Structure formats: C-alpha cells, structure tokens
Structure 1
Amino acid sequence: MDDSIRHLNDSLSWGFIDRHQESLDPYKPKLLVNNRDTGDYILTPLLEELRQCRSFTFSVAFITESGLAVLKSQLADLHAQGIVGRILTSHYLNFNHPKIFRELLKITNVEVRLTELSGFHAKGYLFEHSRHSTIIMGSANLTAAALKTNYEWNVKLTSFEHGGLLGQFHEEFDKAWQSAIPLTTEWIEAYQVLYEEVRKANKKMKAVVPLLPENANPYNAFVHIEPNRMQQQALQNLSALRSSGAARGLVISATGTGKTYLSAFDVKNAAPRRMLFVVHREQILKQALSDYRKIIGGPESDFGIYSGNRRDAQAKYLFATVQTIAKPEHLVQFAADDFDYILIDEVHKAGAASYLSVIQHFTPKFLLGMTATPERTDSFNIYELFHYNIAYEIRLQEALEEDMLCPFHYFGVTDYMRNGELLDDPSQLSLSEKELRVNYLMEKVEYYGYSGEKVRGLIFCSRMAEANELSHLLNARGYRTAALTGTDNAEERERHVRQLEQGELQYLLTVDIFNEGIDIPSVNQVIMLRQTKSSIVFIQQLGRGLRKHDSKEFVTVIDFIGNYKNNYMIPIALSGDRSQNKDNIRRHMKDTSYIKGVSSINFEEVARQQIFKSISGSNLTAFKLLREAYTDLKHRLNRVPLLFDYVENNSLDPLIFADEFPSYYHFLLKVKEPVPSLSQQEQQYLTMLSGEVLNGKRRHEILLLDMLLGQGTVPKQAYVERLREDGCRVGIDTLDSVMRVLSMEFFNEQTRKKYGTLPIVQLNDDQSYSFYPVMQEALQQQGYFKQLVSDLIQTAFLKNEQYDCKSTMTLYKKYSRKDASKLLNWDKDGSSTIFGYKIKNGTCPIFVTYKKHENVGASTKYQDEFINSEVLQWSTRSRRTLASEEVKLILDADREGIELHIFVKKDDAEGLEYYYLGQANYDGKSAVESTMSDENGNSIPVVHMNLVLEHAVESKLYGYLTRG
C-alpha cells in the first residue's frame, strides 16, 4: 500500500473509529474553531492550505472586504506562481456590499461567479494539492470575524482523488457553478442600484432619533460617553494613586485608546478648582478642549485656550501649547499653585527644556503624564519625573484584544524592482523609472484597497523631496493629493487635513510631521514608503489609522519593503517583542497569530524573504542596544534590574546576556554599574550557570539547585519525588547526566577553562546532594552572589515553561549539538565530534543545515531535502557506502534499538542551534549508494535514504524551512 494512502487510512481510523490510533497530523480530520487564548484561528489552516495548493475552490454565501483582505497577499503570491482558483458566491439577502464585488474583480487569478440558487448559504473551501485535496466545511463565511473571532465550527478533511466526499463536493459545486453567471462590471452596476434601494427602504423602517430642543447645550443634554473598560480600570488606579498621597502619575496607552477622554473623566472625578492641559500642537489642543466639554459639561466660558493669539488665562479649564506657555514672559503670569491638576500630553517629550520649565514652575496637587511610547534613546528618565507611579499601561496588542482600536490589515509588499533587483535607494532611479515605480506602487495600493466609500490616506515618505515629487506624479495621474513638510505652517496643515476629511483630497504625503500629534479618525489607508528605522516611529505611523470611525471597518496598512538593513524592525514593531532574540523575531514572521481581533499581518513572499535576510544579517545584540534597553528598564524600576525583571517587563531576552557576556554580572561591569566585587571562582560559577542552566532546556538542574538553595542538603529520594511531582523523567541515565553537568565532568577541556573545574554540586556517600564546599561558602559569605544565583534560577524556571519535562527534548524547540549531547545523557559533550551525526549510547542525533552556504566544500554539500512534511531525504557523510558499519547501524536502527533524532536549521545564519523535529525511522527501502564530487572533482561514495518522521513538521515551520 502506498505510504500516503496508509497514512490517510490511519487518520480516518483516528477520526472516525479510534482516537488512540497513531496518525500523522496533516491528514487527521480536525474541528477548526477560533480560540484567542491559544492563538488558534480558522484563518491559519486556510492560509496554509492556500499557500501550498495547486488550485482552490471556494463556495461562500457572504464575503466582506475584511475577509477578502486577509487573503489578498497570499492570492498575489499564487498569481505570481500561475495558480488560479474559483469563488462561487451570491447576493443572498443583499448582504454582500457592491464594493466587495469590485474588490473580487481586482484579483485576476480568481474566477468569480454568482449563483441564483434560492437560499444559497454554502460555506466550503477546497484546496487541491499534488496527491490529495483538503476540504474545509462548516459555518464560516469569508469574513474576518468568521475566520478569526466568531464562535464557528468547521471540519477539515483530507481526501485522495477517488474519495467519495470529494466527489460529492465537486459534483454539487460544478452543478451550481455551471448555472451561475460570471461576475462583471455591468452586473455590479445593476446590483449597486438594487442594493441602494434596499438600504434606503431599511433606513425608513428605523426609528427616528428625537431632536434636541432648540438652543439646548449639546454637551449638557446627554451623557452618552461612558468610560470603556480600559478607562474604568485606569480611573480606579488614578483614584487609588491620589488616595495614597501620590502627587504624580503616568498613563501609558496605545494611540487611539482614548487617553484624552480618560484624562477628562479623571478631571471630572478629581473636580479640581482649576486645570491646565499642556500639548505640543494647537490642533490637538482644540480637539482636547472639545472632548473635555463633552465629558465635563458646564458653560463655554469655563474652557479657554492659551496659544497663538488667545490668552484665556483665567479659564477654569485651560488648554495651552507648550511653545507658548513655556516662555518666561507667559509663565510669570501664573502663580505656582494656580492649577490643582495639570496634564502633560505626549509626555515622552517632557525631557525638553520647554516642558521641564512648565513642570518646574507649577506645584499642582496632581500632575498626570500621558504617552503611547515612554521609551527613549537619550538618558532622560520619564519614570523618575513621575515618581515611578505608572497608573495604567496598555499597549497595541492588548488594545486590539479589547476592541478599543480600529482593526487593521497590514500588508508587507515588495517595493519596485529594477531588473529583478530590489533597490537600496529608490531616489537614484531615473525619471522614466520613477514613473514606472509610481505605476507599480499605485497598482499595489489599488489592489489592497481600503475600507469605506472613499479613500482617505496618509503616505509616509523618507524625504521632503520625495513627498513633493510623488504628490506631483500622483496628481498627474488624476489622484488628488498634497504634500506636507516641516516647512508648512500650522494653518496650511489644518487646511489640508480638513480637505482630506471632507474628501477633497485622497492622500496627504508627509515625512515625519504626522507621526504623532495629529488626529484624523477617518484615515482608512496608511502607506509606508520609507524604511523602518525605529519601531516606535513605525507604531506611531501605524497608529494614525487606528482610531475608530463610522466610515470604515478597518484600516489598510501597505508597507513597501525594499532592500533595507533595518527590515527586521517590522516584526519587532508589529509584535511588540523587545527581546532582541532573533529566533523570537523569526517566529513572529512564521506565525502572525499573535495579532488579536480581526486584524491581520500579511507579507508577500519576496518581502517576507527580505525580512528574514535582514534578521539574519543584523546585529540585534549590539552593546548600544543592550545598554539602551537596560537603562530604560532601570529607569522604570528605579533600581538595577535582575534577569527576572526583563522577563516580567517583556524586555530583553535574558539569554542574550549569556550569549554576549560570560554572565549578566559581566554586563553590569561593562555598563559601569557599581556592583559588589566577585571572586574569579564566583564569576566562573555564574558563567557556567548562565551558559548551561539559564536557558531552561532541562528542568532537572534548575530544580535541584533551587532545592539546595532552600534546604542546603537534599536527599536523592526527595529530589526524585519532586521530579515525579513535576512530571519529569527520572531514569538513572538522566540523574547521572545531571550530576555530570553540575560536577563539570560533562564538559570538554576548553569549556572547563571558561567554567572552572570545581563542581557546583556533589553527591554525598549518604545519597544526598549538597553544594560543593567552595560554592556553599560563596553563597553564605557573599549575599550579592547568592542574589544573582537565585535570580538566575528563578529566571530559568520561567524559560523552562516552554519545554516538556516528560520528553528528552521538546518538538520544534532549538538545540545545539552540546544540548543534544547533554539531553541524550551522553557522558561527555560530543559537539566537537558529532558534525552531521554520531551514533552513541543507543542514540544518533542527525543535524541538517537545509540551505547550504555557497562556500561549503563539495564533499560536504549533501543533498538533504524534505520530500514532504513527514519524509526527509537525507545523505550520510561522504566516503560512506551501504557496507559501512555506521550506515548499516542507521539502516537497522529499529532492530539495533538506536533512536534517530532529527535536528534541522534553515541556514548558517541561525547560528549553532537547530529545530528539533523529533525521532525518525528509516523507511526500509529507499537507501541507495551514489557518488558526489570532492573538492578536486573526484567521485566519492555517499548513501541517500528517506527518514520518516514520527511527527509531521508543523506547517508554519515546514514552510519556513523549505521556502526561499
């Protein structure tokens, strides 16, 4: 029986007869649901199937713009590969907006037809692959809510060509398809008329909203604005802060989450005699005043402005620009205690002399600072300014999860390519090439579209000249645009913003002046035509579209990605991951399910590879970056951070300190922190624990060290019982391995020079564990040393949470050759002798670099390749034949009791660690002796064979390893 058919039989047995039947994951029938807690969404397998298919067929009654948007970048990649699909839909209940049909027409590799079947409500997705088809059927229409947030049930099934269910699907679909009509522009125009008539009729049926009485004050008539959940929690925290006697507080809240409303609610609660609101732009000032009047109410005369030509100095609620009020001749007009409550907006700017002069002049009962981005690259300590009182904090991911922001669909799009090459600097193009680039850019912009009836877009450029030139080129093509630069005055900016809001302009092009301090809620498209040099600026620009507005359901973000070194900052900014860990950042590229709500993150394939290239080529752990992150966390905590603090505050990955320095202690010395002095032996102990325990890859060492710190001496039986309680394996080989590591016996001579030769732990004659006397003495006499060791162990426990203590190694986690030697319980570190593989102690770890470097010697350039997600075609070392002893042992591994463990990395840019793909078995029939050329062109023997993995590689990792 063909292996694929056997695997499918096993899966069907698992799904419909016996769930204890072993089965490969890709073929298993699955119930697909949306679960935000686990990050599992119906969208994920749908996109995976789409990415790998040879053709596709959708039958869906309802489609929304947002639902189609999440597929657009993948459909664009399929178009580039010549892969086509079909979509059957309808105008049932007039649910589908006419615009969605226009969007469908833009996707030229998809044929769309409309069925007139009465009550058409089908939801099915069929993906055809080379040897099988996948069907997803259930309740989910092609809407972002159905694919990411709604409670939906869908079944995913695999079928071969002659499968009965597949045949039924095709038969029923083809019947409906043949009777359906093609989607055309003419049909859409006719449908538009019908759709508008139905909408008008529905409006007439709705209740009429009562009008306000004549001369009524709209700010006092209703109090319809209620604090959202974030604001309610923040208000409670602010009230508690003031009750504790605090005079200052800081609110950190993502752009668009309602900081101004929050502050107005708090002012209303605090009921100050007078209040001062300080901003840096007059446009924000006027909007803030308007928002406050809605919340607080009262006579118009209570609200005043101190900016430009207005000097309402006696107003109860005074709104001032810092540029005006900070001038000495204006500050002197106010007594220090004139205001009970002062608010500083965009307070990350407060290190400037103008802000400090205002803050130092006044003595309010309470000072509130508000910002979306407190991080700074200079030495100014925002946290200290507000007495380290963080009243509330909510970042982008949390705000999306709480549905406080407008959802967004981000598209990482390949920039214009000249002769197949991405450009470092598009400004170097000739005039004719610039014309071609504009055509390309707007083709992409039109393809990815926007939500709503009219586009209101912001285009961020890299230079003023580019903004002006591009605006001119767009206007020549019939677009209505204007460029705004730092040379334009406030009146000019306000005029163009008003034109954009009113639909007179389609786009505003700018450089950095709209990063913050501008509020245009109706913006439904943000275009980035500059390289990302700062994750803070990236989020600021993204945030320009995140305010909710009745005219849009989502905002489209189109990021044109060129050949830029800083492309790695894009996944950092989108995920909010500040770990500086390359593997984490790669994971955020492989799997974007971390984004909450109906928002989505999408990359075209070439753009995706550019970012991976940037991640590999960048130095994310440069000392300057580490020092900045350290300083920021120190400012936030008002003390020297411990390793544990970095994890708790979502900052740097503590493992970076172990990678870049002998230990965190050595980093503290490097930043000239006045820490207590440690002896050379104490430093060596910290170096060893940092290199071998901190990563958390085996719980056993961590647990024993923790028990010893608390108890001094630990009976071996008590240790074993604790391991069992934690669900860890407790074989004799494993316990012996733990002791070899903690006694230093496991390490080679070179490593022992770094770690020292003295043991950390010893096993006594009475079968109890204790610290080695030198270690014990250091812990007793040096409190700082003990603090560092304890911190390291507690941090290791946190890192260990991602590993399975029951297994030797955890699927899809990364391990080095030394890790494998340790975790396979070898007596010595075999990393210097493993090379591609090594048989020892009944185990054979096999290490594969999937994409060989072009400089790899001919005799080591093996042909390792995945045939599919379950089968790896693997090559032995050169100069091996079917008669070689090591080859015979591998071919007979099952009978010889040898475990084959597979480790794969994409390329050498990933460093020394490989993804663990689990155990494998030789398929029993594929081994073949072949030849390859050595460096001199001579033929040398090699053996190729197929290894079948016990677990099929999960699809995201498989795609990452094999693509590009």
Structure 2
Amino acid sequence: MTTTDETLPLGLYEHLKSASLMGRTIPEGAQWQEEILKKDDYNIPELLTQFFATQLAPALESLKTPADQVELINRMMELLPQDAEEQNDSLLTDDDSNVIQMRELALTDAKTTRPDIPLSDVALMTNTSKDLNLNTEIQKELESADRVDLLCSFLKMSGVNSLSEQLKAIKNRGIPFRIITTTYMGATDRKAIDRLVEEYGAEVKISYQGDSTRLHAKAWLFHRNTGMSTGYVGSSNLSSAALTDGLEWNVRISNPITPGLIRQFEGLFESYWKSGDFTLYTASDQEKQELDTALAKADITGRKSKGLEYDIDSSLLDVHPFPHQVRMLEEMQNARSKGRHRNLAVAATGTGKTVFSALDYRRLCEQSGKKLKLLFIAHRKEILDQARRTFGDVMLKGNFGELLTGGKKPEYNEAVFATIQTLSGAALKNYAPDYFDVIIMDECHHIKAASWDKVFNYFEPREFIGLTATPEREDGVNIADKYFGGYVATSIRLWDALEDHLLVPFQYFGIADGTDLRRINVRGGRYDEKALENLYTKDEAERRLRIIVEELREKVDNPLRMKALGFCVNVKHAKYMAQKFNEVGIPAGVLVGTDSAEERAKVMKNLADEAHELTTIFTVDLFNEGVDIPSVDTLLMLRPTQSLTLFLQQLGRGLRRAPLKSVLTVLDFVGHQNKNFMVHHKYRAFARHGTLTERDIESPELPAGCHFHLDELTQKQVIQKIRESLRMNQNALIDTAKSYLEDMRRNSTEPDVRPTVIDFINRYGLGLPQIYGRSSKVPLPGITKPVATTWTSLQAASELYPDLVVPFHDNVAVETNKRVKALTHVHDTFRINAYLELLNTDILEQDMTDEQRRHAWMLLFSIWPKAKWDGSSEKFSLNEGLATLRKNRGMLQEMESVWNFNAGTDTTSTLPLFEGEGIPLRTHALYSREELFAGLGGQEENFKVPGGVVNGVVPFDPTNTTALLVTLEKSEKHFSPATMYKDYAISTDEFAWDSQSATTPESPTGQLFQHHEERGRRIVLFARQHRENRLGPEPYMCLGTVKYISHEGSKPMHIRWSLDRPMPASMFQIAKIAS
C-alpha cells in the first residue's frame, strides 16, 4: 500500500497520544489500537521524558543564541515541583552568554586523557578505517576509570600486550580490576591470565564448567565516581585482532544516556562474581595445573593437550553442591527441624537428585559424628551402579558400598545398594526394621506397587528420603499425599532446572502424523496396545513412517549424526521402526527390558560414541527412568501418552548436558485422538504456574533457548481438552461442591460430617486460587446478594448446613467472608498458633502482652485494613474486632484448615526478627502489608491504619524500625531496564536497592540510611516477586534486618545492604538478577 507524505504507514507504534499525531492521515480502513498505560505496568515518567525531549530539541534549535537556550531551560526548571533552594541549585549558569561544560575536577593542572567518544554519548564501533579504534578507546577509558570490570569468554596474550601500559597504570593507581572468564573451547592463554593476576593485580574468576556456563559475552564496564560510567558490549574478546582490526561490532553505552543498561550490567556482573559458577584464580602452582588441564580438555584443536600430564590430586575431586542443590539441602534440613523424618524430594531428571541425596547423606554423617548405615533402593542394577559411583565421589571413597541384587549379597552391610526385587523378597528379613539409619528410595513414584510398599512400611530408619522426578503417578495418585503426608520437603521442577541452565534447552514439535485413533478403545487412560501396534506396524504404518522421516530431515541438522531415542508401543513396534530406519539408511537398533545386561551395555556404548554410526535406539520403557546417555540429542515420541509422569521421564532422557550438545530436539507424533483420551495432561510439563491454560499452549513463556510448537490439528485438540476438563466455571464449582458434600454425608457414620476445603481441593486436584481467586460470587438461600467464593459460602450454598447461612444475614460477616483470601498465605506455626489462641479464647486487650496485641491487629487489619466496618466512619476497638471474628465459627474452621495445610507443606525455617521485644514478626515468614504494619507497631502511633500505606519506605517509631517494601518485578507487561534492575539480590546476604526517586544522600532520609547503625535505627527488608498473584496482593517475605554498605548516585540513591540473616536459597533464585 502506498502512502502520501501525510499518511502514516501501517505497523507498530509506541507514540503517546497527542493532537499532532491524531491530526495525521491514516490509510483507508485502518484504525488506531490504544492502550491506557497503568503506572504498575509502564514507566510513565520515562515515556513522558522521552516525549518531551522530542519536542524540546527542535525548540532549542530554533533559538538564535546559547543564552536564549539557557534562559528557556531555566524557565522550565522553575516550573518543576521543587523547594526554592533545590530549584536555585539546579539552574544553569552562563558566562558571557556561553554554555559551560565542566570537564574535570582535579588536584593539579594535569589533564586526564579523555576517550574520543564523549562520556555522555553512545556509539557503535566496528573497527573500520573511518571508525574509532576500539583498542585506543579502551586505553583511554582505562586512564580515567575508578573501577574496571571485564566479562570475556577468553583472554589472549596479544590482547594483554596491546593494553599493557594502561594496565600497569591502573595497578599503580590502585584501581580495582575484576575479570570473569571461562575455559570455553580451550581458547584462553593461561599465560595471559597469569600476567593479569601477577603483574597487573587483576582479580580473576574462571568458570571451569564449559558444558553448562557457556559464557559468550564480551563486555567492559568503566566505573567513575563522578557518575560518568561507560561500558562496551559486543563481540570483541581480549585479543589484539578483536580490539584493532577484526570484523567486530561493539556498542558503547553511557550512564547519562543509558543508565538502565549500566545498572543491568553492574547487577549481572555482580551476580556472576558472587555466584558459585566462577572460581577465584590466584595463580598458585596448583591452580595453574588445574587450569592447564581444564583448557586442554576443552581445547577443540587438541594442541593444548600435547605433553600435558593429567595428574590431579584426588582431594580436588571433592563434590560441592550447585546453587539449586544448596537450596534443596537447606529445605530438607528445615523439614527435619520440624520433626519430619520421612521426606520426599522432587527433582527434574538431569538435575542431580542422586548427587543431592549423597550430599545430604554426607551432611547427616557429619552432624552425627559417625558413618551412618545406608540403604539405597532402586529397581535396576544400572541405577545402583551409577549411584554407587556418585556416593563414592561425594564420600571420597572409590569403592563405596555393596550391592544387593539377584546375584550379589553384601558382606559388611554398612552401605547397601539394593534392587527392590531382591530386597522385597527373602532378603528383607535379614535386617531389623531399624537396622539402617538412612534409607534412600530412588524413583519412588513406584511406591504403590506391592514390593515397594512392603519395603516402605517395613523399615523404621532415622531418616527416609524418597527421590522422584514426578510425584504424580500414571493412575492419578500423588505419592506425596499418600505416603508423605502431603508434604514435599524440597523440589526443583523441569522449569526451574531449565532456567538455571542445569539442562540443555529443548525444541519441542507436536506433529500430526496422519493416524486416526478415534476408534481405538481407551481404558484406564491407555489405548488398546494391540490396536496401536497394528496401526503403527500395518494399517497406516508406511504413511506414518514417511512423515517421521520427512520431519527428521527437516528439523534435525543431520539425521546420520544424531543420537536419538525412539519410544514405542511395544517390542514389535520397536523392531519394526528399527528395521524401517535401517532400510532408509538411518542406522538404528532396538533395546528392550528382556535384553541381557551385556547387550544393553554394548548398544548404549555405541549410541554414546560420537564416532559410531548408530544414530537411534528404539525402546519401549527401558529408558523411561534411571538409565542415561547424556549425548542423546533427539527424542522421537512414537506412542500416545496422557501421563505427565511418563512424558517427563522420557523428556528427561535427552535433557542432560554433554560436550558439543546445545539443544534437545523432540519430535512428538500425535494422531487424531479419541475423545476419551486426555491428550492435554502431559502438557502440564509446560505450565508455568501449575495449572495448564490455553496461554501455555498458544503463547508459552519458555526458558531461554527453548521452543514449543504444536501444529494446527494438535493445538486444536489440546486446547479443546483444556476447555473441557480443566476449566471449572462457577456453576460447575457450586454443583461439584454440593455433590461432594452429599457424597461425604452419605458415606460417613457422622451425621454432620464437615469436610475441610483441603479435603475438597485434594479430591478434585484443585488449588487454593481456584477457590479463593475467583471474582464470581455464590448465591445463598434467603440472602439478597451473592457473596464471595469461599469454602464456607460453598457449603452454605449446598443447603446441607443451615447454620452456615445465618451469619451471612449480617453485612459484617459478608465483608469478612470476602477477605478470607487475604489470610490464605499464613504458613508458620508460630503465627498460626497465636491467631488460633486469639480466635478460640475470650482474651481481652487489657490482658494481652505486646506480642499478642500486635498479633491481634495483624489479624484484624487483614480483614479490615482501615479498622472500620463497611459503611462505618468510626474505627472499631481491638476487642470489638475480635468479638466479631469469633462469631463466625464456619469461617474460623475454614481458615484453620488452610493454615494447617500451609504449615504442613512449608519448606522455610523462620526465626524471631527481634528477641524479647514483643515484636511478633519472624524472618523468612510471609506477611501481607497489613500484617507487617501491625507487627511493627504501626497502629500504636495515633492509631494509624495500613489502608493508606503506599510508600516503599515506612517508618515505625514505636519499634524504632524502618521497613523497606520491595517488589522485585515491577511490571509483568512492559520490560524496561530502567525499572527491571532497581532492586535485586547480589548474593544470599547482600541486596542492591533503589531509594525513592527524590532521596539524596544529603536529605534526612538519605542520612538515616547511611548512619542508621550509629543512630540506633533498625532497617528491615521485605521483598516479594510480584505485586499480585492469583489470590490478590502478593505477601512479602521478611528478609530481616539489613546494614548499610555503600551507595552510588542521588535521586535515587543506589544502596547496597548487608543482610544479617542470609535469605533462603529459594528467594535468592527469585531475587537474583542473573536468574
């Protein structure tokens, strides 16, 4: 379509609505799509600033003299909302009608060399003959920097040589210089690192994990105390060619122009520096040997391995936990501190759950001061062999433990690795129930099977640990509920593992294969096996095979070089697929459970060998769990499954990292499904927030590097099933609750049986948000207006419990019911017990301790944030509020059941914020704004209420504290570096935080932050991920007291705080900038 000069072209815009824009002509038939920008979703001040800048620049250019331009700026400055003194300080000054730029503040007349690019400018540098030279600019930037950070995937001697004079100079000036690098591809020169450390005083950290860290970034950051920091981000490593004449592109960024990018750089670098992925290198003899070995192993040319002796002290092989394993160990310890000694750990395949269990066992031994008797149980010998090697590595003992299998019996019985088949037989009675101190059951989702159940119920160890990637069994039973009291002590699911780069990213394709399964019977969630076999090996086999081969050739770079697993219906199907692949020239083999151990080992070795021609193993269930070939880079899903468990197990076979493996390709061949087959169930693996939605299928939010695509037919089937079975509308919820209550009454010996909300949601696989997160209301018999959805209102609507309807005739009770969801986050037993004591006794305010009184207001403000009944202008007293709450017994029972459920699934360990002061808050507990307000004594100062608290900095003089309320992700809709990198965790005990925008270091608030310790003021940090979740405002985690470390800048101040108690590893995963 052609346009005139006045006609705007079609396309995307981000222009603010203005008279001039609306006066422009738009193409015929086109219309503007508008969005009202909300302050929670967009950085409106930044957008308005950008808009004004576009108007201001031409206005200034139209003025004749610099004096006129200065005058215009000063006139506009006078309109800004500042006090008179601030306003005068901000005005531009001129000298003889000139615009003056202050260039340097120095103690001598000597001038510092400046970069050719102005410090307040940005640029693209390409090393062309007409462009500035990157090497020269870096040299000049170094001369004026107060701190230097370099992020670089490899370092070369030529690059160090080209900057040697400047590096000597910054060492002599005492300028801190930090470098983060890797052993990637073995490209780094060890001598270059040694010179940087030994001659130039650089601090260097190195990633030796080339298969997981994969740092490709190249970037410099030059910190300046004046605020004129600059940086370079691009393609140039530290080598002479990259800095001088290579075909390299680098972007220069600047704090005055791109402050958000500078902050992002600072935050990410600091997070990397503090993480355990990078190891400090001090150039000791031992470290030099380690580095040489690591570079040689990573060297793709092989040159660095020549003449190198791989002689490493065995003490260097001590196994240390990854960050996610640190969190899991922490949460397991918390579970035991609460008296739980039969615990379930859920860990996605490939995240090292066996390593975790070995580290946990080592810690238990250390805590007890002796070696504990261990029993490790699995269902295949191959799994036991792998586990023995892992435990040996962790315990620093090469031949650790003994096998108990069909052909082997242990001699010493100190550490036994047993197959369930052998252990559940006659061997079981060889051990007393309490013989073993620690029992670890791998792949324990099998626990319902008779042999597993028998072993589980026989032994009585000090500690029992169940390991699984998927607690949900194929038959719908959740083993956490059935065997572990509904409690998962710790978990890391697929999504977390991918985001933490523990696994390779995947590209998943759901492909219609042309088969029609609508007439094949489905029983117990499975298709008839024989019918599937016939379909896939006879009826439609050739056509399906052509599609499979065509898709392989289209989506896999070279099918003859791939390492693939194909999951089939049965042995006959597997043999058919192997035969057909071989016929079309793709070397393939078959492995099934009946093959000998020797045959399995041989075929698996061939597939793992990059040089071997074997590309594919077709199997039925051998590789579902426990057996790994890390080099597998392609999965062929050749049979339908609705089992999330099975799907995750199969997916996990290809997600392990391996050298030169960058992505897993998954081809899932999906036919036209029977209406009774729940094709969507397995896709819960891709649901970000537990419940599968249409959005997860149509526009999934995937971890970096991942891709998910369903063809049109498959997507249509999946979405239809989601709509049919996972979306319970309000009427269906009311009807389901009534039917459930009727069934419970019919089948119970108690005439007035009253199931809890937890009983109900467990029965139907729901979550608390699917009850309390609804905006739809519940009509009640005899009540004019519908009321908010709670378990109490659903019970009342069933007409089975007339006593529950009565309170709803009172408007206060209706309002109370509406706010029940505001207390569904309460999880710590200390607070739960305090709340229940207040609600279940008649204690009055005059008889309460300070702690009880604050707990009471925490509870009351949660229901009534302004301490007023609906429609009342008067605030109620504490005794009046409690008396009103105590009347509604149904609601009290509902809250108690939710709280007890939360306590039963809580993985945190809380400690008092302040001992002996009557302040009821605890570190690492979750609090609403209303609770933290009352807990810190907010209502004690002229009876203030939390309903009006909106600031992120809240002083509480009665308890001599100031609370910092932080929302980590400012907006879920609009990404902007200006807002996304303001507040974040640098490490578990250090936090970067931005003050309010008007705060200067000289202001009273700024002075308080800097000198709070000497003034005796306590700063308490509260943080949450989002403003809201599916239940309403998201509660804050109390991270405890913090101490001032340092700050940069003004309006706002960028402050670094030290936490007195390290934050939980789970919160650090959320709060760190490099998540």
TM-score calculated relative to the size of structure 1 = 0.48
Scaled by the length of structure 2, the TM-score of the pair is: 0.44
